[in-house]
Amino acid sequence: MTKRILVTGKNGQLGQSLQKLVEDSSLSLGITAGMVFTFVGRDELGLTCSDSISAFFSNQRFDAMINCAAYTAVDKAESEPELADQINHIAVAQLAEIAKVQAIPLIHISTDYVFDGQSYKPYTEADLTDPQNVYGLTKLKGEQAILASGCKGAIIRTSWVYSEFGSNFVKTMLRLGKERDSLSVIFDQIGSPTYATDLAQAVLVILNSAFSKLNEQQMQVPEIQNSPRRKYPWGAKLKIYHFSNEGVCSWYDFAKAIFELSDVSCHVLPIETKDYPTPAKRPHYSVMNKAKIKQLPGLVVPYWRDSLQTCLKELEAKE
């Protein structure tokens, strides 16, 4: 039976990367077979108004929901905490409630910024959270609301997302690197870049594994197939996963690699966080342990420089 999948945030980096995979089965390796995707942006499903969220779901049903929409302006969130909270927390709580009532899984994306950045080893899913800025706090509250709702699905925490879509660090560096002879970039914040296409693939692997599990259950237990109320394919508990590309670097290393791989001769100067003050405090260390997600069959975690090269080629082809 065809599965109908709702994807929010269709114009964002992850939303567009998912669309790219869905439209090109050679990229998604056929794992979207039997699925029909509905991509929506803020015009179809705005997350600032609870009434419009309820209205959207009042006459439509889906078999799964992937929430790619979020308030992602990390610095601006410091001066717009209510709006950030509405989109990253209150609206997410409402989506989780709808997922719970409709007995459909929710796949939601969260962030490395839920951690305090004081660790010296990669954060696991079980490590204590302690966000250091408004954005991180609203994303953590979104996670907590999903867990409290009792809906099934997965929360995927990711970091340093870039892509050929929207605006991001890679595109900003390429633009500035062509305009200037030198650039100062922070070297004392360490993390792992994530190419949005790789993250989109991880989302689809999770989705696919859940539906495969459901099919197995239906074949083994005929009463599930005949039941008017669908059973969850996701096991007893919602899962939290960490996903980024493989390897670690500083923003300075990342910028150096962007220029090196795209033949831009801009000199990169390493500076400390204190020399580049921003409204939102950033974690010094936000590397995440990916051991849990790597257990999923079919999941690929490319090395960050390899994925950066892929993205740069995509950007070049677009020019």
Per CB under 6 A, 81 contacts ligand NAP? no
Residue whose C-alpha is closest to residue 234's, from 60, 64, 91:
64
**Contact predicate 90/49, CB 8 Å:** no
Segment near ligand NAP (CB under 6 A), from 13-21, 115-123, 281-289, 291-299? Answer: 13-21
Q: Which of residues 24-63 bind ligand NAP (CB under 6 A)?
A: 41-42, 46-48
Q: Is 232 a catalytic residue?
A: no
The catalytic residue among 135, 162, 195, 241 is: 135
Nearest distance, CB of residue 76 and ligand NAP, angstroms: 11
Per CB under 6 A, 155 contacts ligand NAP? no
**Contact predicate 273/284, CB 8 Å:** yes
Q: What contacts 216, CB < 8 A, 6 or more positions away?
A: none
Dihedral of the alpha carbons of 89, 95, 96, 100, in degrees to the nearest 10: 160
Per CB under 6 A, 92 contacts ligand NAP? no
Segment near ligand NAP (CB under 6 A), from 6-14, 173-181, 210-218, 256-264? Answer: 6-14
Q: Which position among 5, 15, 104, 205 is part of the footprint of ligand NAP (CB under 6 A)?
A: 15
Q: Which of residues 163-222 bind ligand NAP (CB under 6 A)?
A: 166
Q: Which position among 109, 174, 183, 186 is part of the footprint of ligand NAP (CB under 6 A)?
A: 109
* Phi-psi group of 128: left, alpha or beta (phi > 0 → left; psi -120 to 50 → alpha; rest → beta): beta
Q: Which position among 69, 214, 257, 312 is part of the footprint of ligand NAP (CB under 6 A)?
A: 69
Phi then psi for 281, rounded to 5 degrees? -75, 135
Q: From residue 117 to residue 136, what is the string marking binding to ligand NAP with x (rule CB under 6 A)?
A: --------------------
Distance CA 107, CA 100 (A): 12
Q: Strand, coil or helix: what is 295?
A: helix
9 vs 233 by CB, closer to ligand NAP: 9
Distance CA 84, CA 77 (A): 6
**Contact predicate 147/158, CB 8 Å:** no
Per CB under 6 A, 96 contacts ligand NAP? no
The set of catalytic residues is 135
Q: Which residues bind ligand NAP (CB under 6 A)?
A: 9, 11-15, 41-42, 46-48, 68-72, 87, 109, 111, 139, 158-161, 166
